[in-house]
Structure 1
Amino acid sequence: MSSGNGLERKKLSKTLKPHWVWAIALGSSIGWGSFVLPADWMAGAGPLGVILGLSIGAVLMAIIAISYGVLIRNYPVSGGEFAYAFLSLNRVHAYISGWFLTLGYICIVALNATAFALMLKFVFPDFIQNMKIYTVAGWDVYFTEIIIVTLLVAFFTYLNIKGSGLSGRMQFIFVMILILGVFSLTGFMTTNSGASFSNMNPVFSPEVSPLAAILTIVAIAPFAYVGFDNVPQAAEEFKFSARKALTLIMMALLFAAIIYSFMIITTAVAAPWQDTSSAGLQWGTGTVVQDVLGTGGLVILVVALSMGIFTGLNGFLISASRVLFAMARGKVLPNAFSKLHSKHNTPYFAIIFAAIVAILAPWFGREVLGWIVNMSSLGVSIAYFYTCYTAYSLLKWNDQGSEFDETLHIVSPGKKFIAILGMVSSVGFLILLLYPNSPAALGSESLWALVIWIVLGFIFYLVKRKDLQSYDREDLAYLILGKEKFKLTDKED
Structure 2
Amino acid sequence: MNKKKSDFDKVFSAWDILVIAFGAMIGWGWVVSTGGWIEKGGVVGAALGFAIGGVMIFFVGLTYAELTAAMPQCGGEHVFSHRAMGPVGSFVCTWAIILGYVGVTCFEACAFPTIITYLWPGFLKGYLYTVAGFDIYASWLIVAIVVAFLIMVINIMGAKTAAILQTILTVIIGGAGILLIIASVLNGTVDNLDGQIFAGTTGVSNVKAVLGVAVLSPFYFIGFDVIPQASEEINVPPKKIGKMLILSVILAVIFYSFVILAVGMVLDSGAIAASQKGTGLVTADAMAVAFRTSVMAKVIIVGGMCGIITSWNSFMIGGSRAMYSMAESYMIPKMFSKLYPKHKTPINALILIGVLTMLAPFAGRVMMVWICDAGNFGCCMAYCMVSLSFLILRKKEPDMPRPYKVKHYKFVGTMAVLMSGFMVCMYCIPGSGGNLILPEWGMVVAWSLLGVVFYAICKSKYKEDFGSLVELISDEDSATLMPEADEEELDEVIDHAIDVVLGV
Pair 117,347 (structure 1): closer, same or farther in 2 beyond 3 Å: same
SS of residue paired to 2:293: helix
**Number of the residue aligned with 2:447:** 453
Give the count of matched residue pairs.
468
Q: Secondary structure at the match of 1:135?
A: strand
Partner amino acid, structure 2, of 1:482:
L
1:346 maps to 345
Displacement after TM superposition at 1:470 (Å)? 2.5
CA displacement at 1:132 relative to structure 2: 1.7
Match of 1:415 in 2: 409
Equivalent of 1:285 in 283, 286, 293: 283
1:449-480 deviations in Å (ceiling 9; x for gaps) = 3233323333333333323542276xx12x2x
Deviation at 1:190, TM superposition (A): 4.3
- Pick the aligned partner of 1:482 from 467, 472, 476: 472
Q: How does 1:370-381 map onto structure 2 within 5 Å?
A: 370-381=369-380
The aligned residue for residue 165 of structure 2 is: 170
Of 13, 23, 32, which aligns to 1:27?
23
Alignment CA distance shift 1:463-1:409 (3 Å): same
Question: 1:288 Cα deviation (Å)?
Answer: 4.6
The letter of the residue matching 1:219 is V
* Aligned partner letter, 1:118: T
Query: Equivalent residue for 1:320?
Result: 319
The alpha-carbon deviation at position 287 of structure 1 amounts to 4.1
Letter paired with 2:78: F
Equivalent of residue 175 in structure 2, options 175, 180, 190: 180
Q: Is the 8 A contact 1:105 1:320 kept in 2?
A: yes
Q: 2:115: which partner in 1?
A: 119
User: Match of 1:368?
Assistant: 367
Query: Contact 2:373–2:436 (CA<8 Å) still a contact in 1?
Result: yes
Q: Structure 1 224/136 Cα, relative in aligned 2: closer, same or farther at 3 Å?
A: same
- Paired residues for 1:9-24 under 5 Å: 11-24=7-20
Distance in structure 2 (CA, Å) of the matches to 1:254 and 1:10: 31
With over 3 angstroms needed to count, the CA separation of the structure-2 counterparts of 1:457 and 1:90, relative to structure 1, is: same
Closer, same or farther in 2 for the Cα pair 1:10/1:260, shift >3 Å?
Answer: same
Q: CA deviation at 1:96?
A: 1.1
> What CA RMSD, in Å, does the superposition of the two structures yield over aligned residues?
2.7
Following the alignment from structure 1 to structure 2, what is the Cα–Cα distance between the partners of residues 132 and 205? 41
Residue 164 of structure 1, CA deviation: 1.1
Q: 1:341 to 1:394 in 2, by over 3 A?
A: same
1:188 match: secondary structure: helix
The residue that corresponds to 1:311 in the other structure is 310
- 1:69 corresponds to 2:65: yes
Are the structure 2 counterparts of residues 200 and 112 from structure 1 closer, same or farther at C-alpha, using a change threshold of 3 Å?
farther
In the alignment, does 2:148 pair up with 1:153? yes
| Corresponding letter in the other structure for 2:464 | S
- AA matched with 1:345: K
1:444 to 438, 449, 453: 438
What residue identity is the alignment partner of 1:312?
Answer: S
Question: Is the counterpart of residue 224 in structure 1 residue 220 in structure 2?
Answer: yes
The aligned residue for residue 490 of structure 1 is: none
CA–CA distance in structure 2, aligned partners of residues 258 and 407 of structure 1: 34
Is the CA contact (8 Å cut-off) linking 1:26 and 1:252 kept in structure 2? yes
Asked if 1 retains the 8 angstrom alpha-carbon contact of 2:98 and 2:323, the reply is yes
Cα distance change on mapping 1:170 and 1:197 into 2, 3 Å: farther
Matched, 1:99 2:95: yes
> Does the 8 A contact of 1:28 with 1:226 survive in 2?
yes
- The one-character-per-residue Cα deviations of 1:111-138 (angstroms, maximum 9, x if unpaired) are 22322212111110112x1112212222
**Structure 1 stretches lacking a partner, 5+ long:** 397-402, 485-493
In structure 2, what residue type is equivalent to 1:270? L
> How far apart are the structure 2 equivalents of 1:53 and 1:302?
24
* Corresponding position of 2:497: none
Q: Once the two structures are superposed, what CA deviation does each residue of 1:82-125 show, in whole Å capped at 9, x if it has no partner?
A: 22111111211111111111111122122223222121111101
C-alpha spacing 1:139/1:265, structure 2 compared with 1 (3 Å): farther
Q: 1:91 to 1:139 in 2, by over 3 A?
A: same
- 2:387 corresponding residue in structure 1: 388
Deviations 1:123-154 (A, max 9, x none): 10112x11122122221122211211122122
User: For the residues of structure 2 that align with 1:142 and 1:196, how far apart are their CA atoms?
Assistant: 44
Q: Deviations over 1:356-409 (max 9, x none)?
A: 11121111111111122122222111111111111112225xxxxxx4484447
**1:198 corresponding residue in structure 2:** 192
- Structure-1 residue corresponding to 2:267: 270
Q: Which runs of 5+ in 2 are unaligned?
A: 475-504
Check whether the contact 1:215–1:440 (CA below 8 A) recurs between aligned residues. Answer: no
| Amino acid of the structure 1 residue aligned with 2:192 | S
> Is the 1:196–1:270 contact (alpha carbons within 8 Å) kept by the matching residues of 2?
no
Partner of 2:485: none
Aligned-pair identity (%): 26
> Which residue of the partner structure matches residue 138 of structure 1?
133
TM-score by length of structure 1 reads 0.87
CA-CA distance at 1:226 after TM superposition: 0.8
> Which residue of 2 is the match for residue 399 of structure 1?
none
Paired AA for residue 331 in structure 1: Y
Change in CA separation of 1:472 and 1:206 when aligned onto 2, cut-off 3 Å: closer
Shift of 1:277: 6.3
Instruction: Specify the code of the residue in structure 1 equivalent to 2:415.
Output: L
Aligned to 2:457: 463
* Counterpart for residue 54 of structure 2: 58
Question: Are the aligned partners of 2:78 and 2:94 in contact in 1 as well (CA < 8 Å)?
Answer: yes
Q: What TM-score do the two structures reach when normalised by structure 2?
A: 0.85
- Provide the secondary structure at the position in 1 that maps to 2:130: strand
Distance 1:363 1:40, change over 3 A: farther
Conserved in 2, the CA contact under 8 Å of 1:395 and 1:412?
no
Letter in 1 for 2:233: E
Q: Which residue of 1 aligns with 2:484?
A: none
User: Do the aligned partners of 1:185 and 1:297 also contact (CA within 8 Å) in 2?
Assistant: no
- Partner SS, residue 314 of structure 1: helix
Query: How far apart, in 2, do the equivalents of 1:248 and 1:281 lie?
Result: 37
Q: CA deviation at 1:204?
A: 3.4
Residue of structure 2 equivalent to 1:258: 254
CA contact (8 A) 2:57 2:221 kept: yes
Taking structure 1 as reference, are residues 10 and 342 closer, same or farther at Cα in structure 2, changes over 3 Å only? same
Aligned counterpart, 1:333: 332
Q: CA deviation at 1:57?
A: 1.1
What SS does the aligned partner of 1:336 have?
A: helix
1: CA distance, partners of 2:239 / 2:190 = 45
Structure 1 residue 62 displacement after superposition: 1.1
Residue identity matched to 2:332: L
